[in-house]
Amino acid sequence: MKRTLDLNKLTPIRGNQFEILLCMNDFPNITEEERTVKRTFMTKFYNICSCKNECFNKVDFKKALEVYEDYGKMQIDEKFISVGALVKSMKVSEEDKSNNSNLLKESYAWTFGLTKICKSFFAMIYNVTLRQIDRLQNRIKKREGFEDKRSSNNTISDEILANTKIFLNNTIKDLILPSASNEIYTLPSFINFTQFYKDLCQHYKSEFNNPQPMSFPKFLKYFKTEFPHVKKLKKKTDYCDACCEYQTILADSKVPNEEKEEIRNNFNVHKELALNARKAYADHRLLFAKEEGYYVLSFDFAENILTPHLDPQPAGFYFHSRRKIDVFGICDENSGVQTNFLIDESQKIQKGPNMVISMLHYYITNFVPIGKIIILYADNAPGQNKNQTLVAYLCYLVQIIRRHPRIYLNFMIAGHTKFSPDRHFGTLKKKIKALGCESILDLIGENGIVKLSARDNEVILYKNPESGEKIFDWYDWDSFLKTKYGACVGIQSWHVIEVEENSSKIRVAPFVGEPFADYNNQITEGLLTGFPTIIEPQGLSETRKAKLKYFENFVTEKHRRFILNDF
């Protein structure tokens, strides 16, 4: 029958009972709850020992009480981790058993400090039950068995590693995206490493009759070690439709090898064209450092900035159309500085060649010296960049007013058009998200968001919102140039266009590195005189102003005029 301790009748007969009572006198100023904990521990301290060695006589009461209280304050998970580590450290190894005959039949050497105690007394001091100790022991046993099994299967032969590397090289070669860098290769975001592993196992099963050459965790570790230069694209990263289609087919194990071979050849041609265009762009960016007669410019539109942009954003904004600000960036690849044209919704004209050429003309005539060779880079948008009007404008600069001796217009392969303007737009978008933007006023000035987003971001406005001063005009370039220059048949297949001052024709090439062919885009031989007429913006309609009225109470007083009205 289990003994109980009657604190009222405790006498110094059994070992250190008298010492226990003296210890209670050391805690005169404690709460009743703390006194109950200590009395409970005193009861357990004397009664819990299950061995004949009377562990309570060998252990210091105060130290044991301190440990008991500390572990009693722990969370259950924290306590299990700590006690589990202690239990594991007390496991008797085979070496210890061979050196000490007294440990032959024991699995654990239970101790408190350097004092040997029984399992029950150990559990009591660390404030856990015997059942919990048993569960911890079972976990340790299972874990050691798993580790032993894993270590026995952990060795992979050099032959398997070599064959795995060959297999992965052949697989990755079909899926990597084109890049100008020889150091980093990218895989599409839909690639699944689990499928890589299944294909590897299937390959070994068919070739070497070995269905599992290595475990999946070992495969992942090997891949990251041997192919650190191969990265997966993030899911939000855009890439070419053709690449996506090719890679989806090549990654499908159900597609016959004959069909894959044809797709693989087409994909390789596509990647080579994109790679050549990317390398040419990278080389041109370094031209100014080598030859001062060149100016390399890249231009593009960004996503509209919607104002007001608040954080947190009211739910009603999702059901109303905010005021739009167009952003057109022209990046000087030589210096890295990008000039961002900010066009308010009330000041814009129809987005097309007239809008693009007006801003491009302002930039070239104000920032590019006369007599320089210009190399332009743009995407393949037909309504804005890749059209006969822009080509005619370049002919006007070179062949009519002879401002520049030669201009190249390069279009990157569709789907592979990430270039410098996108980087600048990204920094601007990130800063707007961080700071918020009530109106166009927050974007401009030395302390405006555009300047704060990057040191190499500059701003040009159609009209200064504070002073009302107009900076540049919109011109009807399309009507003006049509009097001399006609259609460019097949322009969608051109990726390089060259205009020279000593020739009345232009030279075009389907891709970078391929031979040029002459093309005559002139419809008359007469001189082109005069200048295009000015186009005045229509401003906001009354209907649009009524809709913008919704945002009146969401912005401060100084911004309301630039959200609700023309300026």
Question: How confident is the model over 479-496, as pLDDT tens digits?
Answer: 999 999 999 999 999 999
Classify 343 in phi/psi space as left (phi over 0), alpha (psi -120 to 50) or beta. Answer: beta
- 8 — pLDDT class (breaks 50, 70, 90): very low
**What percentage of residues in the chain have a pLDDT greater than 90?**
33
- 7 — pLDDT class (breaks 50, 70, 90): very low
Hey, what are 567's tokens? 């300026």
Least confident among 11-20, 171-180, 202-211, 550-559: 11-20
Q: Is pLDDT above 50 for 152? A: no
- List 361's β-bridge partners, or say none: none
Q: Prior bond to 510 cis, omega within 30?
A: no
Average pLDDT, the chain: 82
Can you tell me which residue has the tokens 């009097």? 483
> Residues 145-160: what's their mean pLDDT?
61
Long-range contacts of 162-169 (CB under 8 A, 24+ apart): 163/204, 163/208, 163/213, 164/200, 164/213, 164/214, 164/219, 164/222, 165/226, 167/199, 167/200, 167/203, 168/196, 168/200, 168/223, 168/226, 168/227
At 244 the pLDDT is: 78
- 11 — pLDDT class (breaks 50, 70, 90): very low
The 10s digit of each residue's pLDDT in 199-229 is: 888 888 888 887 788 888 888 888 888 888 7
Looking at per-residue confidence, does 331 or 176 come out higher? 331
Least confident among 236-250, 346-360, 420-434: 236-250
At 1 the pLDDT is: 40
Contact 404, 373 (CB under 8 A): yes
Q: Is pLDDT above 70 for 98? A: no
- List 566's β-bridge partners, or say none: none
Q: Is pLDDT above 60 for 508? A: yes
d(CA 376, CA 381): 14
In this structure, the dihedral spanned by the alpha carbons of residues 553, 559, 561 and 567, taken in order and rounded to 10 degrees, is -150
d(CA 478, CA 71): 83
Hey, what are 278's tokens? 């990317």
Least confident among 80-94, 116-130, 439-453, 475-489: 80-94
At 224 the pLDDT is: 82
At 120 the pLDDT is: 86
The DSSP code sequence of 371-417 is T-EEEEEE---TTTTSSHHHHHHHHIIIIIS---SEEEEEEPPTT--
> Residues 499-521: what's their mean pLDDT?
92
Q: Which domains does the chain have, with CATH numbers?
A: 7-151 (no CATH), 158-277 (no CATH), 291-538 (3.30.420.10)
> Residues 262-277: what's their mean pLDDT?
85
User: Which residues, 6+ apart, have CB-to-CB distance to 120 below 8 Å?
Assistant: 48, 49, 50, 51, 130
CB atoms within 10 A of CB 221: 12
Q: Is pLDDT above 50 for 3? A: no
Q: Is pLDDT above 60 for 14? A: no
Q: Is pLDDT above 70 for 362? A: yes
User: Which residues, 6+ apart, have CB-to-CB distance to 390 below 8 Å?
Assistant: 353, 356, 357, 409
At 472 the pLDDT is: 94
The 10s digit of each residue's pLDDT in 435-482 is: 999 999 999 988 999 999 988 999 999 999 888 899 999 999 999 999
The 10s digit of each residue's pLDDT in 59-71 is: 888 888 888 888 8
User: Which residues, 6+ apart, have CB-to-CB distance to 496 below 8 Å?
Assistant: 408, 409, 410, 411, 508, 509, 511, 512, 516
- 305 — pLDDT class (breaks 50, 70, 90): very high
At 137 the pLDDT is: 82
Long-range contacts of 205-209 (CB under 8 A, 24+ apart): 208/163
Q: Is pLDDT above 70 for 288? A: no
Contact 424, 340 (CB under 8 A): yes
Kindly state the greatest CA–CA separation across the chain: 128
Residue type, 403: R
At 546 the pLDDT is: 92
At 156 the pLDDT is: 76
At 302 the pLDDT is: 92
Contact 352, 475 (CB under 8 A): no
User: Which residues, 6+ apart, have CB-to-CB distance to 397 below 8 Å?
Assistant: 364, 403, 404, 407, 499
Q: Is pLDDT above 50 for 13? A: no
End-to-end CA distance of the chain: 96
At 15 the pLDDT is: 40
> Residues 516-543: what's their mean pLDDT?
90
Looking at per-residue confidence, does 534 or 195 come out higher? 534
> Residues 46-54: what's their mean pLDDT?
75
Kindly report the three-state secondary structure assignment for every residue of 42-94: HHHHHHCCCCCCCHHHCCCHHHHHHHHHHHHCCCHHHHHHHHHHHHHHCECCH
Q: How far is CA 227 from the centre of its chain?
A: 20
Hey, what are 308's tokens? 């007001």
